Homo-oligomer: A and B are copies of this chain.
């Protein structure tokens, strides 16, 4: 079982990746301040894995509180968050209770934010069951909920004590969600790991066929990239580069998610279309060749991801992008590609070029 480390000083934690981890209560038990866990899951994941995982933990002497939430990005709001608080309080969970997220990115973001704010913060463990959560959202401590005016607008940085990524859970993942996770995998290659990008171009067929060995390698390599970036810039405060680079395609993508309505496009799908826009804008700035943009588009398309944005109109995109957290002091700071394998943040893209890139990548 490969184990990576997220090097955050006193907040450092391990990421365990492998098959059969949902039976390994021993890994968890050693990390708990008291044998008391509240597991947050959703209506799709719970029937598949909750009973088995709860059973393993109970056999290790751990008392469990279960919270099962509705599925989907549209549930990432205050009302759903409050269901977690209600359950914790009803069961008298105290400050030493460990909150555990069993599910995808939405469950992880909700449970993580609940852990960050219940009694001003309790221990948290991520057990991601989707590719997206395993390679991206479960690592790095970003938690939060959506606001009608913008995605992830309310939240906190709250690092887990451990990430447990059982690759077996990908066997039950719908094709569309496998693809959505692949958008973030491809992102790591694009922003900082050209050899990995080339490996992905050579192995996308195996990945989409769910070859376990290929998937394990892609998850490990993705987590290693993310862990390095997070360790260097935990709270996304670096003036140049740093954690912001992980948002390649995300500012355009958030505009799609918000403009279309949360839950219509999966996050990874919106990121894929947004990544093409970012590549196209990079080309217009003279940094990428047309052939580079084609490579980006082709790889995303081979992962069965959308490469054409939602037809919101460029004006609406720009308006929605103006609400993005990447706006600082009124300037839109975009993540773009200097070349394949190297991203940068850039606040000086001419508005006309941004508009043209959006229009060139929409239906």
Measured CB to CB, the residues of A under 8 A from B are 34, 36, 78, 82, 85-86, 89-90, 92, 94-96, 116-121, 142-144, 147, 149-150, 152-157, 235-236, 322-323, 325, 327-330
Q: Does A328 lie within 8 Å of B94, measured CB to CB?
A: yes
Number of identical protomers = 2
A254 to chain B, nearest CB (A): 13
Q: Does B142 lie within 8 Å of A120, measured CB to CB?
A: yes
4 nearest A-B pairs in the assembled complex, by CB-CB distance: A89-B149, A120-B155, A119-B325, A34-B329
Q: Does A322 lie within 8 Å of B92, measured CB to CB?
A: yes
When distances are taken between beta carbons in the complex, the residues of chain B under 8 Å from A92 are 322-323, 327, 330
Q: Which of B96, B117, B121, B142 contacts A328 (CB 8 A)?
A: B96
Contacts A95-B328, A120-B142, A120-B156 known; list 11 others, CB within 8 Å.
A34-B329, A85-B153, A89-B147, A94-B327, A94-B328, A96-B329, A117-B155, A119-B153, A119-B155, A120-B143, A120-B155
Asked, given contacts A96-B328, A330-B94, whether A116 binds B156 with beta carbons under 8 Å apart, the answer is: yes
A-B contact pairs, 27 of them (CB 8 A): A34-B329, A36-B329, A78-B82, A85-B153, A85-B154, A89-B147, A89-B149, A89-B153, A89-B323, A90-B149, A92-B322, A92-B323, A92-B330, A94-B325, A94-B329, A94-B330, A96-B328, A117-B144, A117-B154, A118-B153, A118-B154, A120-B144, A120-B152, A120-B156, A120-B325, A121-B156, A156-B156
With the chains together, A156 CA to B142 CA distance in Å?
15
With the chains together, A95 CA to B153 CA distance in Å?
10
With the chains together, A279 CA to B94 CA distance in Å?
26
When distances are taken between beta carbons in the complex, the residues of chain B under 8 Å from A89 are 147, 149-150, 153, 323
Q: Does A85 lie within 8 Å of B325, measured CB to CB?
A: no
When distances are taken between beta carbons in the complex, the residues of chain B under 8 Å from A155 are 117, 119-120
With the chains together, A36 CA to B329 CA distance in Å?
9
When distances are taken between beta carbons in the complex, the residues of chain B under 8 Å from A325 are 94-95, 119-120
A110 to chain B, nearest CB (A): 13
With the chains together, A85 CA to B142 CA distance in Å?
19
Q: Which of A85, A117, A236 has the most CB of B within 10 A?
A: A117
For A331, the closest partner residue in chain B by CB is B94
Asked, given contacts A85-B147, A96-B328, A329-B96, whether A157 binds B121 with beta carbons under 8 Å apart, the answer is: yes
A147 to chain B, nearest CB (A): 6
With the chains together, A150 CA to B92 CA distance in Å?
11
A316 to chain B, nearest CB (A): 16
Q: Does A121 lie within 8 Å of B327, measured CB to CB?
A: no
With the chains together, A154 CA to B95 CA distance in Å?
12
When distances are taken between beta carbons in the complex, the residues of chain B under 8 Å from A86 are 149
With the chains together, A313 CA to B116 CA distance in Å?
34
When distances are taken between beta carbons in the complex, the residues of chain B under 8 Å from A94 are 325, 327-330
Q: Which of A120, A121, A142, A328 has the most CB of B within 10 A?
A: A120
